[in-house]
Amino acid sequence: MNSDEVSEIKKTWEIPAASPTESALDDDPSQLEEIWVKVTQSHFNRQIEKQSFNELKEVILEVLTAACSLNDQQIEIWVKLMDFIYDIIFRTIDELEQAA
């Protein structure tokens, strides 16, 4: 993600309990990856399937789009972020399945 895209994420981030900086979106993707690897490991241990992650992704994007009145550019950037996160999630699941 480029700095303009990160800026758009920050403008549309309206969750009171967190900010993009607290969630590692302060230009350090390695921190973001570390967080999502841990989340995935926890969910893998509870046997959460990839299909459930995909369903959640759709709901997150739908609710976020409606709740924040995202324009087309903002939607595209959020999809890009979710794709980045889901790449981490699915890569981690694949690694955990191979190790099992």
pLDDT, tens digit, 9 for 90 and up, residues 3-58: 888 888 877 765 544 554 455 555 667 788 888 999 999 999 999 999 999 999 99
Give the HSE-up count for residue 19: Cα atoms under 13 Å, Cβ half-sphere: 6
**3-13+28-99 sits in which CATH class?**
mainly alpha
Question: Among all chains, which residue has been given the structure tokens 């990856």?
Answer: 33
Give the separation between CA 67 and CA 31, rounded to whole angstroms: 27
| 41 and 96 Cβ atoms separated by less than 8 Å | yes
Q: Which residues contact 96 (CB under 8 A, 6 or more apart)?
A: 40, 41, 44
- For the chain, the domains span 3-13+28-99
What one-character DSSP code corresponds to residue 21?
T
Predicted model pTM: 0.72
Give the per-residue pLDDT at 16: 47
